[in-house]
Structure 1
């Protein structure tokens, strides 16, 4: 057993032919040793894929036994046939595990509007079951199996002690384009050996998602398949989590999800910068998030960062049209530690120095300070490059 993988799970990945590249896994399977607590949060798009409908109806639960994911085909906008294919997929996995189909969760990602190539997937499922294991190599294969346009696997791990017991958390996610808040466009699975009730798992996941996966954007486009699952095997035998023990677990889960979430805009299609936006001094969280999202989604702000241009006007004007009321004379802008704007006017700064600080670093920090209250939020975005346009104009052709 790998030191970083929680007890109670087997996992693996396999290429069955959904993706054209034979060197890229397109099936990912996680099997639970016993009935396992699971919770999920999902896309808020009104147009949703068959796996989202399936999983929503079956979580939270304390009887989940497997998660099967295919990549390269989203099984979205595929009508009644898509629902039948998804149910068959869950049924095949359930049969091999020896459980009910209702104990299997499904995820899909890739091209929208195409039916699943079920003949290839059926054969692939026979193979992926032969590749299950419990160490990091098996986990990594499963993480690669959920990728689409990602440059590489996105994984993170945490460990802590709860009630005198060592507890492990490990997570995988995918996402590089069609990324927007309110369930950011992505798939993710988090595994832990802590003991949680279904209600606890649901509440924890919802709370943590609001500060992590719902605080990222690449292009403001919310997808049809967004799914984040938390599975808790209870193998660490921590006992019921409450008070300090629950707070400890929540903090570790938050850090894990933040680590995973940041990897998505960092890998934004064609991106050359990860932009961290810090909003301070707002009246409430909704105002802070609205300003952050407006700045994060601005094509002019994104392209300025791409070119290393400390264009303060684009940033402060984006805050101004966010729809949030604030005192413009109380706004302050700092980029990479350099003060650019205060009290309604730019301050003197060395443009070459600030520009070089953007060009020389993958991360760019943008901090906007206000005088309306004491609320703070952090938000992450990617810059916008010619490569993003090229990639997305040729995605299907």
Structure 2
């Protein structure tokens, strides 16, 4: 059962912006201006909504709504794309009564397409009429592109002043190797939180959830993770203990959503849980984890249920991390198959066969060079992934 934060309304409609026969335009609206936070893609080609949101959050940390469209990313669209983004917000404000400068926009879909503004104008009456009638489930479906299922998590937690509720949703199945957050993710919370502390919490949760996943090694032009905390519960999160509790709960929610993304990878059948230990530092640990998780050869071996552990060692070796190869060990599914620079004797194919046939496959590399650690969730690479992306614009 979905836990609903107080003071939020939702809208999700079929606007026919690109897709036919499905919802592709949605809003998440707070009844009162909320503490707003966001982290965004580091891709140099940042989409118009990303640039707009960053500018708005620099100007004011009080915002009221998210507006999300699927089908067109409004990225690499130049000044026309920026003008269209601003015009869309004006249209939505006029239709719904939510001030244009309190709406944070997000877009997902094909890069390089300009908005069809006639379709946007035509959709406004339906969007306004639907506001408050849609469910979070409707919105989580409307933000999908190649996702096979919506991704929605909600929970509640008791702070010293009472109960607060959090709801999070995201979309993403391909073009996922974020360096900030995931493709699109949104959190609604009814706690009363200082905007700066809310931003710090969101950044921490992004670093330890969405920034710890990869599907195909591509960092999107549109990656955005944003949150609104409106205080409608009447419960303040201001003590250090309350803030830590709120952060812990949001982290668990974010990690659950991040797992859903990797589990739903385009054509994906496996989730590799990569752990790197004993690195010189955390930077080296992450280099090794990402080299393994992004390796096409490791990913295709996972898809084929092939215990070809040499590909894992190869990726670690070219990662750029500094370590002594003779001190390295490797475990797959808890089974040690490589130790002190040498394979462990035994029929590893037979031992690992049941492990490789599971959906979740733990991979642990210990470098023996220090105390640095890193974790990463990675998908496999399948024939269906190639087919989906070969036909993406069709």
- Between the aligned partners of 1:177 and 1:362, the Cα distance in structure 2 is 18
Q: Indicate whether 1:168 and 2:199 are aligned.
A: no
- The match for 1:329 is 326
Distance in structure 1 (CA, Å) of the matches to 2:383 and 2:390: 11
After TM superposition, the structure 1 stretch with the greater mean CA deviation from structure 2, 36-45 or 325-334, is: 325-334
Count residues with an aligned counterpart.
392
Q: Please say if residues 277 and 366 of structure 1, whose CA atoms lie closer than 8 Å, have aligned partners that are also in contact.
A: yes
CA distance in 2, matches of 1:363, 1:287: 24
- TM-score using structure 2 length: 0.96
CA contact (8 A) 1:196 1:232 kept: yes
Contact 2:9 2:132 in 1 (8 A): yes
Match of 2:257? 260
Pairs within 5 Å for 1:2-13: 4-13=3-12
The unaligned stretches of length 5 or more in structure 2 are none
2:26 to 6, 25, 28: 28
The one of 228, 231, 235 equivalent to 1:231 is 228
Instruction: Please state how far the C-alpha of 1:3 moved relative to its aligned partner.
Output: 6.0
SS at match of 1:5: coil
Q: Is 1:295 aligned to residue 273 of structure 2? A: no
The aligned counterpart of 1:63 is 62
Give the whole-Å Cα distance in 2 for the aligned partners of 1:72 and 1:3. 27
Quote the Cα distance in structure 1 between the aligned partners of 2:104 and 2:120.
16
Alignment of 1:1-397 (within 5 A): 4-22=3-21, 24-59=22-57, 61-133=60-132, 138-350=135-347, 351-359=349-357, 361-397=358-394
1: CA distance, partners of 2:2 / 2:174: 32
Question: TM-score, length-normalised on structure 1?
Answer: 0.95
* Superposed CA offset, 1:245-286 (max 9, x none): 111111001111111111111111111111110111223221
Let me know the Cα RMSD of the aligned residues: 1.6
The answer to which of 71-80 and 118-127 deviates more is: 118-127
Deviation track 1:269-315 (CA, whole Å, cap 9, x = no partner) reads 11111111011122322111111101000001001111111111110
Name the SS for the 1:286 alignment partner.
helix
Between 1:190-199 and 1:231-240, the stretch displaced more is 231-240
Alpha-carbon distance in 1 for matches of 2:370, 2:243: 29
Indicate conservation of the 8 Å contact 2:178/2:223, yes or no: no
Indicate conservation of the 8 Å contact 2:25/2:142, yes or no: yes
Task: Please state whether the residue corresponding to 2:319 is helix, strand or coil.
Answer: coil
Q: Say whether the 8 Å CA contact 1:11–1:30 is kept in structure 2.
A: yes
Which SS does the other structure have where 1:308 is aligned?
Answer: coil
Determine helix, strand or coil for the equivalent of 1:58. Answer: helix
CA deviations over 1:50-77 (Å, ceiling 9, x no partner): 1001000111644312211110111111
CA contact (8 A) 1:73 1:116 kept: yes
CA-CA distance at 1:345 after TM superposition: 0.7
